[in-house]
Amino acid sequence: MAQAQRICILGATGSIGESTLDVIASHPEAFEVYAMSAFSQVEKLVALSIKHQPKVLVLPHAAARQQFIALWPSNQPLPEIRLGAEALVDTAIDTAVDTVVCAIVGSAGLASAFAAAQAGKRILLANKEALVASGQLFMEAVKQSGAQLLPIDSEHNAIFQCMTRPIQASQIKEIILTASGGPFRDTDLSLLDRVTPAQACKHPNWSMGRKISVDSATMLNKGLEVIEAKWLFDMPLEKIKVVVHPESIVHSMVHYVDGSILAQLGHSDMRIPISYALAYPERLTNQAPDFELSDLCQLNFRLPDLARYPCLDLAYQAMNAGQQSTIVLNAANEIAVAAFLDQRIRFTDIARLIALMLEQNWSSAVDSIDAVHALDHEVRHQATARLMQFSA
C-alpha cells in the first residue's frame, strides 16, 4: 500500500481546517495528520489533537502552550509544540510534510504559504489573501520549486475541475465565477449602513469563518477571487466574469470558444472541493450530503449590481492598477472588516475605508516577499489611524 500523505494543516481550528480534518478522518489509510496550527482556540485544538494525534503543533506564544499542556490528558504523549509565526514557516517546509493545507485567514497566512511554495510542497490553498497580496511572486515560487498548487476555494476548485488538460488558454473564452450575493443581496440599499455583524455573518448558503462571511456580504470576497483566479489560471482580467447565482449550486464555469460551458455542481459543502484537492487526481467519498437533482427547483443567474457591491468594483480597480494596489485592497479590507465586526465602523464604511486607502500614493515597490509584508504592515497602520474618521 502507498504511504499515507503526511498533512500539515495551518489554521486547523477554523472552518476550512475542520472540514479538512473531517475528510481526512474518513480515510486514515490515505492521510496522516502530521501537524496542525491554531491561533486562539486552544481548547478546540486540544480536542482535535486527541482525535487526530498530530506529531507537531504550532501555537502563537508560550501562554497558549501552557494552556494547551494544562488541558492535555496526562496519560497521552504530548505532541511537539512549536511557537510563533516563524514556527508556522518552519512547519510548512518541514521535510516530514508532503501536503500543506493553507487555511489561516488573512495575510497572516502569507509567509507560511509562500514558504511551502518555495519548498516545492503540495499546497491546498484556501488562503486566497496570499495570492491577492503576492500573486506574481507566489506563482514564480511555485514554478521554480515544482510545487503543486491545488485550489480549495470552491469557485477555483470548480474551474480547476472544468478545465480540460493540458490547459490551452486560447481555447477558453472566459471563466465565470459564481457568487451567492450574500445575506444582503435583496436588502434595501438605504438600510445597508445599519446592518449588524451578526446579520452580515449569517450567510444564506455557506457556513464559514467571520472574516470571509463579511467579505461575502460586501462581495469583496468575489473581488479577491477574481484576483485569485487571474493568478491561479494565468487569465487576463477581461476573461474573468462574475455572476450572482443565489442558489450556490453551480460553483463556477469555464466557457470555451466553441460555445460549450462546463460547470461543476454540488452542495455548498467545502468537504467536496477539499476532497477533490486532497485526492487529486483521484476522487474520494466524504460526509457531504447526497445531491439529488430532483431537489433542484431553479438555477438563477444575474449580473452583480455594483451600486450594491462597491467593493467588487474596488477590487477590479485594484487589479487593474497592479500588485501594489491589491496589497492595499486586501490590507485595508482586513482592518475594515475587523473594525466592523467590533462595531467600530458601519458595514458601508468598509468600502469607504478601502477606497480611501487605494487613493493614497504608496511608494514602495513590491519585488520581494519582505516588501509585500512591509507594504501590508504600512497600510494596516494607516488604515487603523483612519478608522477614527468613522463612527458606528
Footprint of ligand NAD (CB under 6 A): 11-17, 38-40, 103-105, 108, 126-129, 153, 206, 208-209, 211-212, 270
Residue 115 neighbours by CB under 8 Å, 6+ apart: 89, 92, 93
- SS3 state of residue 312: helix
Within 10 A of 294 (CB to CB), how many other CB atoms are there?
5
Question: In the bound complex, what is the minimum distance in angstroms from residue 76's beta carbon to Mg ion?
Answer: 37
The x, y and z cell numbers of residue 75, run together, are: 496519560
In terms of CB distance, is 94 or 155 closer to Mg ion? 155
Question: In the bound complex, what is the minimum distance in angstroms from residue 61's beta carbon to ligand NAD?
Answer: 11
The x, y and z cell numbers of residue 59, run together, are: 501555537
Binding residue count for Mg ion, defined by CB under 5 A: 3
Question: In the bound complex, what is the minimum distance in angstroms from residue 135's beta carbon to Mg ion?
Answer: 16
Q: Which does 127 bind (CB under 5 to 8 A by kind): Mg ion, ligand NAD, none?
A: ligand NAD
In terms of CB distance, is 52 or 128 closer to Mg ion? 128
Task: Tell whether 221 is in a known binding site.
Answer: yes
Residue nearest to ligand NAD (CB): 14
Task: Tell whether 14 is in a known binding site.
Answer: yes
Q: CA distances (Å), 360 to each of 80, 133, 312, in order?
A: 45, 17, 19
Question: In the bound complex, what is the minimum distance in angstroms from residue 237's beta carbon to ligand NAD?
Answer: 20
58 and 8 Cβ atoms separated by less than 8 Å = no
Task: Tell whether 112 is in a known binding site.
Answer: no
In terms of CB distance, is 45 or 270 closer to Mg ion? 270
Half-sphere exposure of 239 (CA within 13 A, CB side): 18
- Is the C-alpha dihedral spanning 224, 226, 227, 231 positive or negative? positive
Q: CA distances (Å), 372 to each of 259, 317, 365, 386, in order?
A: 40, 19, 9, 21
Task: Tell whether 330 is in a known binding site.
Answer: no
Of 32, 94, 129, 153, the one binding Mg ion (CB under 5 A) is 153
Q: Name the binding residues for Mn(2+).
A: 153, 155, 225
For binding to Mg ion (CB under 5 A), which residues are involved? 153-155
